[in-house]
Structure 1
C-alpha cells in the first residue's frame, strides 16, 4: 500500500506545482489549555503480523513493544475485512462498517458511472496510463465522493460528542472540518488536525485555521516526527490516528512475518516516547494503540503463479487501464487487487454463466463469487455454497444466515442441533464475502486466488514475495497492542468493532469539550 500512496502524494505535489494560488498564512503560536490531556494514539502499521511481533519478542529485539504489552493488552487474532486491501480496511476502521456499507470496494474497482476502472494508484505504469491528474482526483474522491456520505466516520462521531481528533498520513480521513489543499483550489474534509505527506492543516477550537506545506515524505519516521510535535502542543486533539507504511514495503519485498522491519518500528517508537518524556509520564498522558490492517501470504517465485488479466478476459476484449468503455470497444473490465480480482461484463453478449464455468477450471483460482438478488453464490471447483442474511443459522458474532449447498466451500462447521455455524480457515467468512461482493457496482464475478498465486496484467515476471487482497486466515488475522487496561478489548474483536471501542476509550480518558 505504501508505494501506491507515495505515488499519489507525488501526483498531489504535481497538482501543487502546476496550479497557482496564494501562499497560506503561517500558523499562530498555540494557546495554553487548562483541560487535562490523556490522548488516545492509534498507530496503524500496514501489514504488521502477530508472528513477526512474537518472533521479535522471543529474540529480545522488541523492547518497546514488549514493555507496552506487559503494561497493557495484546490480541493476535483481530479479524480484518475482505478484500484485504488498505483502502478498504481503513474505511472499515473509520466507519465501523463492512465494504458493502461504506462503499469502497477495493484499491482497483470498476465504476459504471465513469465507465472506467478506478485505480487509486498501484503502479507508476498504471497511473501514467490513466493520467496523473485523474488519479489525483480519484484519490481525493476516495474520501469525498466514493465513501458513502451516509456512513459516519469516527472523526465525525467524536466531534458530535465534544472531542477533537487528528490524522497523520491516513488515507481514510473524512471528518467534519473543511481543509483547503494549497495551490489547487480544491478542498477536502477531515478531522480538526490533518496531515497528508507534506500537506498539514489544523483547525483550532476557536475556529482559526492554518494550512502549511512541510518538507516531509510518506515514511514512518516522518509521521512519527510530526506526531511528536503535535503531542507536545498543549492543545492537541483527544484522538490521533497515524498511518505507518514501512512494514508493508518490507512485507511485499521480503515476504510475510519478518521480524526485522518490526524491530525498526520498535526503535522508531522508542524515539517517539523518548521525545515526549519518561516512560511513566508518557504512559500516564497517552494511551497507545498499535495495530495491523491485514496479514500477508507468501508468493511463489515462479511466473506460472501469475494469473494474468488477459487470460481471465479471453476470448473477450479487455478494457485497458485509463480508457473509458465509451472510448474503446471492450467486452469486459477487470479490476485486480493482488489476490482478488473482479470481472465486469460491459455488454449483453458476455455471459456470466460462461465466465463462472471458465474460472472454476483455471489453476490458481480459489473462490468464484457472484450475487443474485439477496443470494450470494460461492464456487470452489465443483462445489457450491449459496447463502443470504437472516436465516436459521447463527454465527459466533450473533449474525444469522440462510445456507444451501456445501459448507466446506467457506470451511464452515455446522451444529444442526443448535443451528450454530463456526468458522474454520476463514474467520467471519459469510459477512466478509457478503461485504466484498456487495460493495461492487453492477453485475460481476469476484475471484480469489490460492496461496502463492496473484492476479496480474502480465507486467511482472514473478509474484510478490508477499501479497494480500484475499480472505485467507493469514491475511485476515491481525494484531493489536494497547498500552493500557482502562477499557478491555472485546473478546471477539473485528476491525469493524474498533470504531465504537475507540470512541469509548476516548470517553473514559477525557472530559469532553463543548462542540463548536
Structure 2
C-alpha cells in the first residue's frame, strides 16, 4: 500500500479567504499542500448547499437523488413529521431538543442516509483498510461503537445516547463515541472547541499510527462565518490550519509528514453575506402550514422547510394535489428575495423560474454541461444567466446548475417546490433565526456554492484533469488512492 491519506473538510471555507490566509502567513499547512500538489478555487457544492446535503455528497460520492439527505430541515412523508438537524438552538427547541439530537446523531446515518449507497468508510472498511474519523455528520462504517463512559459529560450523555452505532474503525464523535481513550475532549461538540478536538485526535492517531484513512472534520469555520460574515474567515481558517499543522508536527514536521501521507482538503460549500430575511410563514400565509409538533396535521395543507439560503415546500393534500402545486409555485414566484423556484412538471420535466421567466429541462441530448452530462432544454436560458456555446451550456452564476437541480428535484425525500434565495437574502428558520450581518449558504448561486479543494500526494497532477470539480469527486479520489476504483 502507498501513502496513508487524510481528508480534511473545512466547513464553509471561502476560496478568497483561504487565499488571503495563505498570503498573510496564517495558513502554512495549506500553503505546503498547495505548493506540493494542486488547488481548485471553484469546487461545486451539492444543492441545497447546506451542510447535511453536502456532507453526504462528500461521504458517498453522489448527489441527494441517491443518498436521500435533502436538506437541513425537511418533512418525512414516511413518518409524517418534520426532520430538523440543528438549524439553530431556537429551531431545535421548536421541534424538541431530544428529537433533533436523535435525528442528527442516530437517524441521519442509521435511517435517513440511503442503504443503497456505500460511504467512503464502508468502501474502505470492506477492503480491510484502517479507517478513522473525527466528529462529522456522516460517519457510517462497518465497525460497531458503544456510547463512551469515560468522562462526566459522556456519562451524562448516556441518558440520551444509549445505542451503539456503526462507524469507521476509529470513531471519535463529540465525546459521545470514542473507540479508545485519548486526552482529547470536545465538550460534546461545542462550537469553537470542535476543531481543537479534531486536531487533538488527529495528532494522537498520527503518533500511534492508527489509520490508513482519516476524515478530519474542521467545522468551526462555518459557525464563525455565520456570526461574523465570510470576510472574517481568515481567523477561523487560521485555526483550522493550526489543527492540520498538529498532524504534520506529530508526523515529524511538514516534509516528513507529507512524505508518508497524502492530503485532500476541501470545503463542503462557501459563504455569502446576509442582509435581509425571508419569512416563509408570511409568504405562505394563505395556506394551512403544518406546525412543528404536528398537532394540526389533520388540517395542514403544506409543510414549509427553511434551510438557510434554501427552502422546500411539501404539498400534504393528496386529493386536489394537482391544483395545489401550481398555487404553491405562484405564491413562491411572488416572494421578495426568492431568486429561483424549482419543481417537477406533470410531464416529469424539471422547471426553474425566476419572476415571470421559466426554463424547462430534463436529461436528454440537446446540450452538454461542463461535466459532460447532456440535457434537453426549453424556455429562457436567462433564468440561469446561461448561454450555449458550441453545444455546451454555460451558466457561471449557477455552477453545474441543471445537474444539481435535477438531483435535488428527484430526491425521494425532497419537497414539491424548492426555493433558492437571491444574494444577500436568507430564509429565517423555524426558530426565527437568520444570520443578518453574518454569512450563510444553501442556494444554487455561485456566491455560496463554490468552495476550495486542494490535494497532494494523490490524485491527478493538475487541476485541469477535470473542467469542473464537484463534491461528488471526493470519494472517488479517496478510493482511487487505495486502488479501489
TM-score > 0.5 by shorter chain: yes
Secondary structure of the structure 1 residue equivalent to 2:482: helix
The Cα of 1:185 is off from its aligned counterpart by: 4.3
Contact 1:200 / 1:213 at 8 angstroms: preserved in 2? no
Task: Name the counterpart of 2:344.
Answer: 371
Secondary structure of the structure 1 residue equivalent to 2:231: coil
Task: Name the counterpart of 2:43.
Answer: 78
The question of 1:170 aligning with 2:136 is answered: yes
The question of 1:59 aligning with 2:24 is answered: yes
* Alignment match of 1:341 (pick from 290, 295, 311): 311
TM-score between both structures, scaled by the size of structure 2: 0.88
Task: Name the counterpart of 1:143.
Answer: 109
The Cα of 1:442 is off from its aligned counterpart by: 6.8
Deviations 1:46-85 (A, max 9, x none): 0111100111223333333222222222111111111111
The question of 1:465 aligning with 2:441 is answered: no
Contact 1:117 / 1:334 at 8 angstroms: preserved in 2? no
The CA distance in 2 between the partners of 1:410 and 1:164, in whole Å, is 44
Secondary structure of the structure 1 residue equivalent to 2:436: coil
The question of 1:388 aligning with 2:362 is answered: yes
The CA distance in 2 between the partners of 1:388 and 1:464, in whole Å, is 38
Task: Name the counterpart of 2:97.
Answer: 132
The Cα of 1:324 is off from its aligned counterpart by: 5.6
The CA distance in 2 between the partners of 1:425 and 1:169, in whole Å, is 33
The CA distance in 2 between the partners of 1:125 and 1:262, in whole Å, is 27
* Alignment match of 2:472 (pick from 496, 499, 503): 496
Q: Structure 1 residues 500 and 324 mapped into 2: Cα distance closer, same or farther (>3 Å)?
A: farther
Secondary structure of the structure 2 residue equivalent to 1:474: helix
Residues 127-136 or 466-475, more deviating: 127-136
The CA distance in 1 between the partners of 2:284 and 2:272, in whole Å, is 25
Task: Name the counterpart of 1:352.
Answer: 325
* Alignment match of 2:457 (pick from 468, 478, 484): 484
Contact 2:423 / 2:447 at 8 angstroms: preserved in 1? no
Contact 2:270 / 2:447 at 8 angstroms: preserved in 1? yes
The CA distance in 2 between the partners of 1:65 and 1:40, in whole Å, is 15
Q: Which runs of 5+ in 2 are unaligned?
A: 149-157
The CA distance in 1 between the partners of 2:178 and 2:434, in whole Å, is 42
The CA distance in 2 between the partners of 1:449 and 1:294, in whole Å, is 15
The question of 1:441 aligning with 2:413 is answered: yes
Deviations 1:417-438 (A, max 9, x none): x532223211110000011222
Task: Name the counterpart of 1:223.
Answer: 198
Q: Structure 1 residues 267 and 191 mapped into 2: Cα distance closer, same or farther (>3 Å)?
A: closer
Secondary structure of the structure 1 residue equivalent to 2:164: strand
The CA distance in 1 between the partners of 2:21 and 2:435, in whole Å, is 29
* Alignment match of 2:34 (pick from 46, 62, 69): 69
The question of 1:187 aligning with 2:164 is answered: yes
Contact 2:442 / 2:449 at 8 angstroms: preserved in 1? no
Q: Structure 1 residues 262 and 195 mapped into 2: Cα distance closer, same or farther (>3 Å)?
A: same
Contact 2:43 / 2:451 at 8 angstroms: preserved in 1? yes
Q: Which runs of 5+ in 1 are unaligned?
A: 1-35, 203-209, 509-516
The Cα of 1:460 is off from its aligned counterpart by: 4.0
RMSD: 2.3
The CA distance in 2 between the partners of 1:393 and 1:378, in whole Å, is 17
Task: Name the counterpart of 1:317.
Answer: 288
* Alignment match of 1:198 (pick from 168, 175, 179): 175
Task: Name the counterpart of 1:205.
Answer: none
Q: Structure 1 residues 76 and 505 mapped into 2: Cα distance closer, same or farther (>3 Å)?
A: same
The CA distance in 1 between the partners of 2:458 and 2:211, in whole Å, is 21
Residues 110-119 or 99-108, more deviating: 110-119
Q: Structure 1 residues 108 and 151 mapped into 2: Cα distance closer, same or farther (>3 Å)?
A: same
State how many pairs are aligned. Answer: 458
Secondary structure of the structure 1 residue equivalent to 2:424: coil
Contact 1:110 / 1:118 at 8 angstroms: preserved in 2? yes
Equivalent runs, 1:376-455 vs 2, <5 Å: 376-415=350-389, 418-439=390-411, 441=413, 444-455=416-427
Larger radius of gyration: 1
Equivalent runs, 1:276-295 vs 2, <5 Å: 276-295=251-270
The CA distance in 2 between the partners of 1:212 and 1:67, in whole Å, is 28
Contact 2:145 / 2:177 at 8 angstroms: preserved in 1? no
The CA distance in 2 between the partners of 1:167 and 1:442, in whole Å, is 28
Contact 2:366 / 2:376 at 8 angstroms: preserved in 1? yes
Q: Structure 1 residues 293 and 329 mapped into 2: Cα distance closer, same or farther (>3 Å)?
A: same
Contact 1:116 / 1:325 at 8 angstroms: preserved in 2? no
Contact 1:290 / 1:480 at 8 angstroms: preserved in 2? yes
The question of 1:307 aligning with 2:278 is answered: yes
Equivalent runs, 1:96-115 vs 2, <5 Å: 96-115=61-80
TM-score between both structures, scaled by the size of structure 1: 0.83
